[in-house]
Structure 1
Amino acid sequence: MIELKSGSIPDIPLLWSLRTRAVRKLCASHYSVEQIEIWSEAAPPESYLRLLATDCALLAEEDGQLLGYGILDRQSGEVIALFVEPAHAGKGIGKRLMEGLETMAAEEYFSRLYLYSSLNAADFYRAMGFVAIRDDAYAHPSGISLRSLYMERDLPADSVH
């Protein structure tokens, strides 16, 4: 059974390793080999320290194995990250994580979530109720520009405290 639990600073290397596998495997269909190489070699952003220190990350685990993670910036309502182990993609893990992030957002009184979706993940986010507002160039910290979609989703009024 999949369990959601809070992430913390010591989890960053494990999370980043999962993220790198996901970028290499799941994003390769929508981005160039050069983009994937630069993207996957980037170090974790410094913002992960703040986000994981302030209870912004959820980990999805089963039998002690990390299957995915999501991060919500509790100050802005931005979904910073949502990655699933490639071998487990399409099994509902991302959906469980997004539902957990929505619960966190409701705790912070957000009425809307937003994110920058990689092109390969856009259909997943649409299925979760997000709407693409614009096609955007995401300025990745590594210095490359990645085509992405800026997406938003209103939270149900009854979920906002």
Structure 2
Amino acid sequence: MTIRPATFQDIPELKKLLDNSVRGLSKDYYTTSQIDSALKYIFGIDTQLIDDGSYYVVELDGTIAGCGGWSRRKTLYGGDQHKELHDTLLDPTKEPARIRAFFVHPDYARRGIGRKIIELCENEAKKHGFSSLALGATLPGVPLYKAMGFKEVEQIVEPLLDGEKLELVSMIKNI
């Protein structure tokens, strides 16, 4: 297992991974129409994370098997199509860093990929002065985040532009 910073050249492969991950791992939690809508309006690559150097890919056998990252910016979840163009910086003395955009290919699920990326993100956020982490978890991600010490803060129902709604869970962890 190799973990490295994501590059802009990875984006085509990351988009395929994201689609496979959401369709494969969310099918027991969301309807097909919710998944299709979320892929269109929320889930996507946040290129600011790549630009910031805080988004990572995990390679197994030469294949990108997972990705995820952390952010020192205000956006809690969503790709480029879901966020403000200007994503302001957080104050590490008062606000939690964000855990962002975790996706694992279903063929590589339950192999510790998400855990490894979270551990890396925690360490990097600490190096940048943060003492806590926040995230907006999809329902299939909640068990991993709970196992990693995150606590549920609130249930979120995200309205999507086509009328669908997506349930998410706001979570936090002190580091």
Deviates more, 1:8-17 or 1:125-134: 8-17
Counterpart check, 1:98 vs 2:97: no
The match for 2:151 among 114, 131, 145 is 131
How far apart are residue 123 of structure 1 and its match?
Answer: 0.8
Match of 2:54 in 1: 56
Structure 1 residues not aligned, in runs of 5+: 156-161
**AA in 2 matched with 1:15:** L
Deviations 1:96-115 (A, max 9, x none): 11111111211211100010
For residues 44 and 122 of structure 1, the distance between their equivalents in structure 2, rounded to whole angstroms, comes to 16
Match of 1:152 in 2: 172
For residues 117 and 152 of structure 1, the distance between their equivalents in structure 2, rounded to whole angstroms, comes to 10
What TM-score do you get using the length of structure 1 for normalisation?
0.86
Match of 2:136 in 1: 116
Deviations 1:76-108 (A, max 9, x none): 411121111111101111111111111121121
Structure 2 residues not aligned, in runs of 5+: 74-89, 91-96
How far apart are residue 128 of structure 1 and its match?
Answer: 0.6
Match of 2:31 in 1: 32
What TM-score do you get using the length of structure 2 for normalisation?
0.79
Identical-residue share of aligned pairs (%) = 27
How far apart are residue 143 of structure 1 and its match?
Answer: 7.0
Deviations 1:1-34 (A, max 9, x none): x111011222122112101101101011111121
Contact 1:51 1:73 in 2 (8 A): yes
Distance 1:44 1:89, change over 3 A: closer
Contact 1:58 1:100 in 2 (8 A): no
Deviates more, 1:92-101 or 1:70-79: 70-79
